């Protein structure tokens, strides 16, 4: 019997062909397997009927751990007797299928790790040791099919030893495209901050020692540069903050191993699983009682972002040192993508660091570390990047049109929705300048090429002035395809509906800012979404933003606007004038502005949290996105809902003035923790009660919560309690980021919902 099979999914770059070879030989079959340019694996086998059947069964059952099979088509016929044995053929340039894709980067596997440590092994101490089961993929692939010449490994011809392993069917590096050793593979070298080479026979371990001594080193990884320092010394971290102009924004760290992570942070079983998974994301962990690393790593926060080494290089950094962890922050100039090229690194990072640890392999795709936190056992993805991208999110329904979503302005990603799969790009960043805009364009094109998709519709944000909106129109003109704007908060809710295959939902969408259908600033919304689109059911009270965008940077301006007319705050503001950059003069201007009618207003939940944070003296200046609200959450972790305020709901609005006034007038009577906790409870309960009332009225069974505020665990759990007590099913994100990193996905769903 002859069987001709085509398999789509993640079947290239994870040892699929060697696996097919093995099971074909086991079943005494002849024929071939080959990769195709559309990322499909093509297999032809001939042999006894029962063996062919068993082979096809084994294909699905015994597939390599990282393989994903989406679709299998098989045609049976008579033997043609054209083969003598089973072979892995050269890849074909055929392109007819869409939606197959290459795998994400995979962290170093146990077998490679033990070879790295084995003095008798040929790859002892080789920092880029990999095999068919591990190593970079997405970050080295320039095109398909996944063969060495289409990767940045093409610059490193295999030596005899590596080639022998590559060609030996029984070897675990059989057809591993990243196979290399210290003789033929990429090299690593240390330089001073102006690029002068420093002769050292063990540059990686020397880097570890330099870090321990208090130096700052830029380290090139698979997807970009990191800037590293010690974690037990404050001096280098404070120096790094000064030169990077990054006053408070938390730095991620890389711990030596899970035991080291446990010495300064609480690690649950689920967190440990995530930390050690092949994805190796940064996981936000609770600082433990006896946390002993520098306070400057994540100042004012109750948690710390920790990851484990993901390549041999990172493992070796810890070899000769006592440091339990190193600061390992993405090396990106403010609002720009992570640096990937050696020359660019020298130019842009030279003034920031003391040394460079370079390697000489080009980075094909820039990719930041992923960031995840767990709410109890549920993952909440903050940044979906290395280890995830470009693996798609699989939907339970399929759509006819292929839709491209270009995201919002901050934390942008792009997304291609093709049939029942959403391919979300790696993290792009804030698309406000040329570099990030170019990065978004390049990634979008790459994603379309990799998935071999032909776009029918382009979705973008409703904001007419967003860079991404302009980009969508540009692409629309080029491809001659329509562009559909999607309201920001509806995109958040649609993303939740798409992830859970729910076609009707009352959704709570809370964040800092989104452009509303009425042209106003929204951010604390209750929406009804279904096949027909969405309707705004309710929202947080509109509050003035004194000084417009300045109110986002200086939350006391929000507080002033909210409290104006309810309590006498002029004296209080004047007594806090040192919290304003221009002191008393600025306070006088603010007081005058309070009387004006034409102040811009917002329903943003983030701004109310900011205002509370300022009242409690937790944060007076936002130096990074979400800072006042994140610090409020940290302060609230040990608090109780001492005020127990009953939410005031009137004409589908949650009153927020009452909340800020109560916190203000009680600020000397209770602890900051209790007041922070009470404020978060009030907002969560108010939003949940309003959503429940509306869902009851409309007869909708599903209530969801999305937007950047959904990262806040206490707010999420409080909403959950109210919603579930009301007998509704509660939905939050598990795979897609609740924040603006999930907006591109939501946009594609919003455009497709009518056709589900």
Instruction: Tell me which residues touch Zn ion (CB under 5 A).
Output: 109, 112, 131, 133-134, 159, 162, 181, 183-184, 511, 740
Q: HSE-up of 669 (CA within 13 Å, CB side)?
A: 7
Entry field: residues in the chain: 756
Tokens of 663: 């916190």
Q: What is the torsion angle, in degrees rounded to the nearest 10, for the CA atoms of residue 693, residue 698, residue 699 and residue 701?
A: -70
**Which of residues 586 and 740 has its CB atom nearest to Zn ion in the complex?**
740
From residue 715, how far is each of 616, 701, 708, 722 by CA, in Å? Answer: 18, 21, 11, 11
Q: Which is nearer to Zn ion, 109 or 486 (CB)?
A: 109
Question: Which DSSP string corresponds to 253-316?
Answer: EEESSHHHHHTTEE--HHHHHHHHSTT--EEEEEEPTT--S-TTSSTT-SEEEEE---SHHHHH
Min dist. Cβ of residue 469 to Zn ion (A): 15
Q: Can you tell me the distance from the alpha carbon of 162 to that of 182, in angstroms, rounded to the nearest whole number? A: 10
To Zn ion, the closest distance from the beta carbon of 361 in angstroms equals: 14
> What's the closest the beta carbon of residue 21 comes to Zn ion, in angstroms?
18
Burial 177-205 (b: 16+ CB within 10 A, else e): bbbbbbeebbebebbebeeeeeeeeebbb
Given the complex with Zn ion, which of 230 and 551 has the nearer CB atom? 551
Token reading at 703: 């209530």
Rounded to a whole number of angstroms, the minimum distance from the CB of residue 604 to Zn ion is 10
Tokens read off for 418 = 């093709």
Q: Which is nearer to Zn ion, 162 or 457 (CB)?
A: 162
Closest CA to 389 of 306, 333, 482, 451: 451
Task: Report, in Å, the least distance between residue 167 CB and Zn ion.
Answer: 13
CB of 100 to Zn ion, least distance (A): 23
Rounded CA separation 586/560 (Å): 12
As measured in angstroms, the least distance from the Cβ of 664 to Zn ion is 28
Q: Shortest approach of Zn ion to residue 116 CB, angstroms?
A: 10
The residue among 132 and 342 lying less far from Zn ion, judged by its C-beta, is: 132
Q: How many CA atoms lie within 13 A of 292 on its CB side?
A: 10
Nearer of residues 67 and 131 to Zn ion, judged by Cβ: 131
Which residue's CB is nearer to Zn ion, number 206 or number 511? 511
What's the 3-state SS for 518-567? CCCEEEEEEEEEECCEEEEEEEECCEECCCCCHHHHCCHHHHHHHHCCCC
> C-beta of 115: minimal distance to Zn ion in Å?
8
Query: What is the rounded distance in angstroms from the CA atom of residue 382 to the CA atom of residue 349?
Result: 26
Supply the minimum distance, in Å, between the C-beta of residue 110 and Zn ion.
Answer: 8
- Report phi then psi at 330, rounded to 5: -55, 135
Strand 421-424 and strand 649-650: pairing?
Answer: unpaired
Residue 484 Cβ vs Zn ion, minimum distance, rounded to whole Å: 18
Hey, what's the torsion of the CAs at 384, 386, 389, 391, to 10 degrees? -110
State which residue, 180 or 560, has the beta carbon closest to Zn ion.
Answer: 180
Q: Minimum Å distance from CB 64 to Zn ion? A: 12
Helix (H, G, I), strand (E, B) or coil at 245: coil
Q: Is 236 exposed, middle or buried (0-12, 13-18, 19+ CB in 10 A)?
A: buried
Give the whole-angstrom CA distance, residue 151 versus residue 164: 20
Inter-axis angle of helices 657-665 and 556-563, to 10 degrees?
100
Tokens of 208: 């570890």
Least distance CB 122 / Zn ion (angstroms) = 8
Which position has the token pair 């026979």?
A: 201
498/502 Cα distance (integer angstroms): 7
Nearer to Zn ion, 105 or 271 (CB): 105
Q: Among residues 388 and 513, whose Cβ is nearest to Zn ion?
A: 513
Query: Smaller CB distance to Zn ion: residue 189 or 278?
Result: 278
Give whichever of 140 and 658 is closer to Zn ion, judged by the CB atom. 140
Q: Of 99 and 512, which CB lies nearer to Zn ion in the complex structure?
A: 512
Q: How wide is the angle at C-alpha 658 spanned by C-alphas 655 and 660, nearest 5°?
A: 110
Separation CA 287–CA 749 (nearest Å): 37
The residue among 108 and 619 lying less far from Zn ion, judged by its C-beta, is: 108
Q: Cβ of residue 191: shortest distance to Zn ion, in angstroms? A: 25
């Amino acid at each position: 019997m002859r069987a001709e099979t085509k398999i789509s999914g993640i079947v290239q770059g994870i040892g699929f062909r060697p696996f097919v070879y093995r099971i074909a030989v086991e079943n005494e079959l002849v024929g071939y397997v080959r990769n195709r340019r559309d990322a499909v694996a093509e297999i032809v086998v001939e042999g006894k009927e029962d063996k062919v059947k068993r082979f096809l069964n084994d294909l699905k059952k015994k597939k390599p751990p990282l393989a994903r099979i989406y679709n299998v088509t098989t045609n049976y016929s008579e033997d043609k007797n054209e083969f003598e044995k089973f072979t892995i053929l050269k890849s074909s340039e055929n392109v007819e299928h869409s939606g197959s894709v290459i795998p994400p980067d995979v962290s170093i596997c146990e077998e490679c790790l033990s070879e790295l440590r084995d003095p008798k092994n040929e790859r002892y101490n080789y920092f880029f040791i990999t095999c068919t089961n591990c190593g970079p993929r997405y970050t080295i692939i320039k095109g398909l099919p996944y063969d060495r010449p289409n990767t940045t490994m093409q610059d490193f011809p295999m030596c005899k030893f590596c080639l022998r392993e590559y060609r030996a069917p029984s070897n675990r590096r059989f057809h591993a495209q990243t196979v290399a050793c210290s003789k033929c593979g990429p090299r690593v070298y240390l330089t001073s901050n102006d690029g002068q080479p420093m002769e050292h026979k063990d540059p990686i371990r020397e880097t570890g020692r330099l870090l321990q001594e208090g130096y700052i080193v830029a380290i090139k990884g698979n997807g970009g540069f990191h800037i590293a320092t010690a974690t037990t010394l404050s001096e280098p971290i404070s120096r790094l903050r000064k030169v990077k102009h990054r006053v408070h924004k938390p730095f991620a760290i890389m711990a030596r191993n899970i035991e080291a992570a446990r010495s300064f942070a609480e690690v649950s079983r689920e967190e440990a699983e995530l930390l050690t998974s092949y994805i190796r994301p940064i996981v936000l962990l609770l600082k433990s009682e006896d946390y002993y690393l520098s306070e400057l790593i994540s100042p004012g926060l109750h948690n710390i972002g920790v990851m484990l080494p993901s390549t041999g290089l990172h493992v070796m950094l810890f070899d000769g040192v006592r440091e339990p962890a190193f600061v390992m922050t993405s090396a990106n100039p403010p609002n720009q993508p992570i640096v990937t090229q050696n020359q660019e690194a020298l130019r842009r990072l030279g003034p920031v660091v003391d040394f460079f640890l370079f390697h000489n392999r080009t980075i094909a795709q820039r990719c930041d570390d992923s960031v995840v936190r767990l709410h109890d056992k549920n993952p909440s993805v903050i940044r979906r990047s290395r280890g995830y991208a470009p693996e798609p999110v699989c939907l339970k329904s399929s759509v006819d049109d292929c839709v491209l979503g270009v995201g919002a302005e901050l934390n942008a990603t792009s997304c291609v929705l093709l049939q029942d799969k959403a391919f979300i790009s790696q993290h792009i960043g804030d698309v406000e300048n040329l570099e990030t805009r170019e990065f978004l364009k390049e990634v979008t094109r790459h994603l379309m090429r990799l998935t071999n998709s032909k776009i029918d519709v382009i979705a973008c944000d409703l904001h007419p002035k967003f860079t991404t909106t302009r980009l969508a129109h540009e692409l629309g003109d080029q491809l001659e395809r329509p562009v559909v704007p999607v309201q920001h908060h509806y995109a958040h809710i649609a993303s939740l509906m798409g992830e859970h295959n729910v076609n009707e939902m009352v959704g709570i969408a809370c964040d800092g800012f989104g452009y509303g259908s009425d042209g106003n600033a929204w951010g604390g919304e209750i929406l009804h979404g279904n096949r027909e689109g969405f309707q705004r059911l309710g929202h947080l009270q509109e509050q003035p933003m004194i000084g417009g965008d300045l109110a986002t940077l200086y939350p006391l301006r929000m507080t002033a606007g909210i409290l104006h007319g309810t309590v006498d705050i002029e004296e209080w503001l004047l007594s806090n004038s040192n919290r304003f950059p221009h002191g008393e003069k600025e306070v006088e201007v603010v007081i005058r502005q309070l009387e004006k009618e034409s102040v811009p207003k917002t329903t943003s939940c983030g701004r109310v949290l900011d205002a509370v944070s300022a009242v409690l003296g937790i944060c007076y200046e936002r130096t990074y996105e979400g800072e006042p609200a994140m610090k409020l959450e940290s302060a609230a972790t040990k608090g109780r809902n001492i005020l127990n305020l009953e939410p005031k709901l009137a004409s589908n609005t949650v009153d927020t003035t009452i909340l800020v006034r109560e916190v203000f007038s009680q600020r000397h009577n209770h602890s900051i923790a209790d007041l922070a906790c009470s404020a978060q409870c009030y907002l969560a309960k108010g939003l949940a009660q309003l959503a429940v009332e509306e869902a009851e009225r409309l007869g909708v069974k599903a209530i969801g919560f999305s937007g950047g505020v959904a990262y806040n665990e206490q707010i999420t759990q409080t909403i959950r309690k109210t919603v579930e007590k009301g007998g509704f099913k509660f939905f939050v994100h598990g795979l897609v980021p609740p924040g603006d990193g999930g907006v591109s996905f939501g946009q594609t769903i919003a455009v497709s919902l009518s056709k589900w």
